[in-house]
Amino acid sequence: MAARSIASLTVSFGLVSIPVKLYSATEASRAISFNLLHKACGSRLRQQYFCIKEDVPVSRDDMVKGYEFTKDQYVIFSPEELKAMEEAGTHMAEITEFVPIDAIDPVYFDKAYYLAPDKGGAKPFALLGEALRESGRCAIGRWAARGKQYIVMIRPIEDGLVMQQLLYAREVRSIKDLEIPHTEVKPQELKLAKQLIEQQASDAFDPDAYKDEVTERIEAAIQKKVEGQQITLAEEPKAGAQVIDLMDALRASLEKRATAPSKAKAESTRKPPKRAEPVPEPAAAPARKTARKKA
């Protein structure tokens, strides 16, 4: 099924404007969700809000939004005040700078969108993509939508472009907040670790090689339930023995990785055993003809 665009916007850098269509790059709808039901009759439940002070249900018409500036103290905002503070959507992604692609830590990556040229935008769209590929850089800009303002990164992939929302600096915690002790690494340990990395190294990442086994297991269980079948609960796997010595763990990992391919190869090259030929059953003796004497 052909992808459907979710919005139209204009990407601008300098005096160049590129009309593009926006497509969601991910599918959150693929996630499995469950509804809360009444255990007695199986009907869905409806959420209800209660006042903490008076312990009475409150309808949506009697609700307002407030910000807690200190413990149990709030300032209230009306819907009009909140609307006035929102960022007006301009349908414009304005590029402010170009930086090397590897200059942005992936920890800042948020939601991603695919970009495709809209009417009249094929030529400048292709030009921007090719220029980014040749320069090894990505575009950084601002984009306003849904009342908010976002930092976006536009980077080339294959024949198209990806617009990646980025988190603000205040939304990303610093690694310096963690207490990570400085530890010396022995040269022999580093050598074995690098050998293990080389054994498991790949030239490219193949996302199709990884399957969401949990989702597949849940989907299969749901189908069994729909068909009226019972679900058999699998036993939890037993935890393996913990190896305390780091060198022993590295050596064992290398030996395991080394023996696995040779074992698989040996099993594939091993000739299958000859099947025993069935032994023919002995032929049945011919029935004797008994002649009756005529009286």
pLDDT digits (tens, 9 = 90+) for 73-98: 999 998 888 888 876 667 889 999 99
Integer angstrom CA distances of residue 193 from 181, 190, 198, 262, 272: 20, 5, 9, 21, 38
| Tens digits of residue pLDDT in 98-152 | 999 999 999 999 999 999 999 999 999 999 999 999 999 999 999 988 788 999 9
What is the per-residue pLDDT for 45? Answer: 92
Task: Give start and end residues of each alpha helix (H) in 232-275.
Answer: 246-269
What is the per-residue pLDDT for 276? Answer: 44
Separation between Cα atoms, residue 260 and residue 256, nearest integer Å: 6
What is the per-residue pLDDT for 214? Answer: 84
| Tens digits of residue pLDDT in 14-38 | 888 999 999 999 876 567 888 999 9
The pTM score is: 0.69
First CA to last CA across the chain, in angstroms? 93
What is the per-residue pLDDT for 239? Answer: 59
The answer, yes or no, to whether residue 271 has pLDDT greater than 70, is: no
Percent of the chain predicted with pLDDT > 90: 39
pLDDT class for 43, splitting at 50, 70, 90?
Answer: very high
Separation between Cα atoms, residue 256 and residue 268, nearest integer Å: 18
Please tell me whether residue 143 adopts helix, strand or coil conformation.
Answer: strand
DSSP state for residue 136 in the 8-state scheme:
T
pLDDT class for 282, splitting at 50, 70, 90?
Answer: very low
| Tens digits of residue pLDDT in 207-259 | 889 888 888 888 888 888 888 877 766 666 665 555 567 778 878 887 877 77
More confident residue, 179 or 235: 179
What is the per-residue pLDDT for 289? Answer: 44
What is the per-residue pLDDT for 230? Answer: 74
When pLDDT is averaged across residues 32-48 and rounded to a whole number, the result is 90
Output 230-235 pairs: Cβ under 8 A, ≥24 positions apart.
none
Whether 133 and 110 have beta carbons less than 8 Å apart is answered as: no
What is the per-residue pLDDT for 274? Answer: 46
- Buried b / exposed e across 252-281, counting CB within 10 Å, b at 16+? ebbeeeeeeeeeeeeeeeeeeeeeeeeeee
Separation between Cα atoms, residue 128 and residue 157, nearest integer Å: 12
Sequential DSSP letters for 27-56:
-GGGS-----B-TTT-PBP---EE-TTT--
> Which of these CATH numbers, 1.20.1090.10, 2.40.290.10, 3.40.50.720, 2.70.98.10, describes 11-27+87-171?
2.40.290.10
Nearest 5°: the CA angle 260, 265, 269 is 155
Separation between Cα atoms, residue 290 and residue 295, nearest integer Å: 15
Residue 229, beta-bridge partner list: none
* Non-local CB neighbours of 43 within 8 Å, separated by 6+ positions: 37
- Phi and psi, residue 195, nearest 5°: -65, -40
